[in-house]
Structure 1
Amino acid sequence: MSVIPSNEAIQAINGASHRDPFAVLGMHGDGPGGTLVVRTFQPGAEEVAVLHADSGKTVTVLERVDDSGLFARALGRRKTPFPYRLRVVDAAGSRVIDDPYRFPVLLSDLDIHLFAEGTHLHLYRKLGAHPRTIDAVAGVAFAVWAPNAERVAAVGEFNGWDGRRHPMRLRHDCGIWELFIPGAEPGQLYKYEIKGPCGELLPLRSDPFGAHAQLRPDTASVIESTEVFNWSDQPWMESRGAHNARDAAMTIYEVHLGSWRRVPGEGDRFLTYRELAEQLVPYAKDMGFTHLQLMPVNEHPFDGSWGYQPVGLFAPSSRFGRPEDFQYLVDACHRAEIGLLIDWVPGHFPTDPHGLAQFDGTHLYEHADPRQGFHPDWNTLIYNYGRREVSNFLRSNAHFWFDRYHVDGLRVDAVASMLYLDYSREEGEWIPNPHGGNENLDAIDFLRRVNEEVYREYPGAFTVAEESTAWPGVSRPTDGGGLGFGYKWNMGWMNDTLSYMSRDPIHRVHHHNEMTFGLVYAFDENFVLPLSHDEVVHGKGSLLGRMPGDEWQKFANLRAYFGFMWTHPGKKLLFMGGEFAQGREWNHEASLDWHLLDIPLHAGVQRLVRDLNHLYRRTPALYQCDCESCGFAWLDHLDAESSIFAYLRFGYEGSAPVAVISNFTPVPRHGYRLGVPAAGYYAERLNTDAAVYGGSDLGNAGGLHAEPLPWQGQPQSLLITVPPLATLVFELQHAG
Structure 2
Amino acid sequence: MPRLDDKTLYALPPGTADLLDGTCGEPFSILGRHNAGAVDIVRVFHRDARRVRLVIRRPHGGWAERAMRRIDDTGLYIGHIPAGASYRLRITWADGVQETEDPYSFPALLCERELELFSSGRATGLDQIMGAHPMQVDTVAGVRFAVWAPHAQRVSVIGDFNIWDGRRHPMRLHPSVGVWEIFIPGLGAGERYKYEILDRQGHIVPHKADPFARQAEIPPATASVIAPPALPAWTDGEWMRDRARWQADDAPITIYALHAPSWRRPKGDPALTMSWDALAGALIAHVQAGGFTHVGFLPVMEHPSGWSWGCVPLGLFCPSARHGPPDGFARLVDACHGVGIGVIVDWIPDRLSPDLHGIACFDGTALYEHPHPRPHDRSAAEGTPLCYDLGRPEVRGFLIASALMWLEHYHVDGLRVDLRGHVAWHEDEITAFLRELNMAIAQRVPDALVIASGGLSGPGVTMPAEHGGYGFSFEWNRAMPCHLRTYLGHDPQWRGQHHMDMVALSGQAFSEKYILCHSHADTAHAAPALLLRFPGDAWRRHATLRIYLAFLWAWPGKKLMFMGQEFAPDVPWNPEGELPWDRADLPFAMGTRRMAGDLNRLYRACPALHRGDCVPGGFAWVIADDTANSVFAWMRQDRDNAPVLIVCNMTPEVHHDYHVGVPHDGYWHEVFNSDAIEYGGSGVGNAGGVHSRPYWIHGQAHACVLTLPPLGVVYLSMARVSP
State the TM-score, normalized to the length of structure 1: 0.94
Q: Distance in 2 between matches of 1:285 and 1:468?
A: 32
Q: Which residue of 2 aligns with 1:186?
A: 189
Matched, 1:316 2:319: yes
Aligned pair partner of 1:117 in 120, 126, 145: 120
Q: 1:349 aligns with which of 342, 349, 352?
A: 352
Alignment of 1:127-276 (within 5 A): 127-264=130-267, 269-276=272-279
Contact 1:64–1:71 (CA<8 Å) still a contact in 2?
A: yes
Partner residue in 1 for 2:599: 612
Work out which of the residue numbers 63, 70, 78 in structure 1 matches 2:76.
70
Q: Which ranges in structure 2 are unaligned for 5 or more consecutive residues?
A: 1-6
Name the CA distance, whole Å, in 2 between partners of 1:641 and 1:378. Answer: 52
Deviation at 1:358, TM superposition (A): 1.0
Query: Which whole-Å CA distance do the structure 1 matches of 2:383 and 2:691 have between them?
Result: 57
Take 1:209 and 1:469, find their aligned partners in 2: how far apart are those partners?
Answer: 28
Matching residue within 14, 17, 20 for 2:23: 17
Question: Which stretch has the larger CA shift, 460-469 or 182-191?
Answer: 460-469
- 1:42 maps to which of 36, 40, 46: 46
State the Cα distance separating 1:679 from its structure 2 match: 1.0
Are the aligned partners of 2:157 and 2:171 in contact in 1 as well (CA < 8 Å)?
Answer: yes
One-letter amino acid matched to 1:38: V
> Alpha-carbon deviation of 1:47?
1.7
Contact 1:158 1:183 in 2 (8 A): no
Question: Aligned residue for 1:408?
Answer: 413
Distance 2:99 2:690 in 1: 87
Partner of 2:448: 461
In the aligned structure 2, how far is the partner of 1:468 from the partner of 1:143? 34
In the aligned structure 1, how far is the partner of 2:208 from the partner of 2:501? 50
Paired with 2:666 and 2:8, the residues of 1 have a C-alpha distance of 99
Partners of 1:240 and 1:111 in 2: CA distance: 32
SS in 1 for 2:166: coil
Residue in structure 2 matched with residue 388 of structure 1 by the alignment: 393
User: Which blocks of at least 5 consecutive residues in structure 1 are unaligned?
Assistant: 422-438
On the 8 A contact 1:415/1:465 being kept in 2, the answer is no
In 2: Cα distance, 1:578 partner to 1:16 partner: 57
Q: Is the Cα contact below 8 Å between 1:468 and 1:490 reproduced in 2? A: no
Match of 2:475 among 488, 491, 516: 488
144-153 or 115-124: bigger deviation: 115-124
Listed one character per residue, the Cα deviations across residues 696-718 of structure 1 (whole Å, up to 9, x for unaligned) are 10000000111111211122110
The superposition leaves residues 18-60 of structure 1 with CA deviations (integer Å, 9 ceiling, x where unpaired) of 110000000101x4x5631000011222221111247452352
- Matching residue of 1:445: 432
Tell me, yes or no, if the aligned pair for 1:706 and 1:717 is still in contact at 8 Å.
yes
**Structure-1 residue corresponding to 2:3:** none
The code of the aligned residue for 1:9 comes to G
Q: Which stretch shows the higher mean deviation, 215-224 or 368-377?
A: 368-377
Residue correspondences, number: 711
SS in 1 for 2:582: helix
- Code of the aligned partner of 1:379: T
- AA at the equivalent of 1:189: R
CA contact (8 A) 2:68 2:77 kept: yes
Structure 1 residue 733 displacement after superposition:
2.6
Q: Distance in 2 between matches of 1:266 and 1:503?
A: 38
Distance 2:57 2:700 in 1: 88
1-structure distance, mates of 2:24, 2:393? 28
Which of 3, 9, 29 in structure 1 is aligned with 2:9? 3
Q: 1:711 aligned to 2:703?
A: no
CA contact (8 A) 2:478 2:519 kept: no
**2:622 aligned counterpart, secondary structure:** strand
Aligned to 1:728: 714
TM-fit CA distance, 1:468 = 4.6
The structure-2 alpha-carbon separation of the partners of 1:482 and 1:143, relative to structure 1 and needing over 3 Å to count, comes to: same
In 2: Cα distance, 1:74 partner to 1:470 partner? 67
Q: Which amino acid aligns with 2:75?
A: G
Give CA-to-partner distance per residue, 1:651-704, whole Å, 9 cap, x none.
2x2200010011111111111101111111100000000100000100000001
Task: Give yes or no for the alignment of 1:531 onto 2:518.
Answer: yes
Question: After superposition, where does 1:359-398 map in structure 2 within 5 Å?
Answer: 359-371=362-374, 379-398=384-403
The DSSP-based 3-state class of the residue aligned with 1:417 is coil
Residue in 2 that maps onto 1:98:
101
Residue number in structure 2 paired with 1:424 = none
| 1:580 aligned residue (532, 556, 567) | 567
User: Considering only aligned residues, what root-mean-square deviation do their CA atoms show, in Å?
Assistant: 1.9
Q: How many Å apart are 1:187 and its aligned residue?
A: 0.5
Separation in 2, partners of 1:658, 1:705? 15
Report the Cα offset of residue 453 of structure 1.
Answer: 1.2
Deviation by residue 1:123-180 (Cα, 9 ceiling, x = unmatched)? 1111111111111111111110001100000000111101000000001121110000
Alignment of 1:661-700 (within 5 A): 661-700=647-686
CA distance in 2, matches of 1:684, 1:378: 53
Equivalent residues of 1:52, 1:84 under 8 A apart: yes
**SS of residue in 2 equivalent to 1:516:** helix
Residues 54 and 89 in structure 2, CA contact (< 8 A), matched pair in contact too: yes
- Report the alpha carbon displacement of residue 73 of structure 1 after superposing the two structures with TM: 2.5
SS at match of 2:683: coil
Query: How far apart, in 2, do the equivalents of 1:629 and 1:713 lie?
Result: 19
1:2/1:224 Cα in 2 relative to 1: closer, same or farther (>3 Å)? farther
Change (3 A) 1:607 1:520: same
* Offset, 1:597: 2.6
Q: C-alpha deviations, 1:535-568, integer Å up to 9, x for none?
A: 1114211111111110000000000111100000
Distance in 2 (CA, whole Å) between partners of 1:560 and 1:313 is 39
Question: What does residue 546 of structure 2 align with?
Answer: 559
Q: Which amino acid aligns with 2:480?
A: W
Displacement, 1:265?
A: 6.8
Shift of residue 227, structure 1, vs aligned partner:
4.5
Q: Distance in 2 between matches of 1:102 and 1:349?
A: 37
Deviation at 1:456, TM superposition (A): 1.5
Tell whether the 8 Å contact from 1:375 to 1:381 is kept in structure 2 after alignment: no
Residues of 1 paired with 2:465 and 2:453: CA distance? Answer: 18
Q: Which SS does the other structure have where 2:640 is aligned? A: coil
* Mapped contact 1:660–1:727 kept (Cα < 8 A): yes
Distance in 2, matches of 1:205 and 1:318, equals: 17
* Partner SS for 1:284: helix
Shift of 1:115: 1.4
What's the % identity of the aligned pairs?
Answer: 41
2:583 maps to amino acid: L
**Segment of structure 1 superposing worse, 568-577 or 541-550:** 541-550
Distance in 1 separating the partners of 2:593 and 2:455? 29
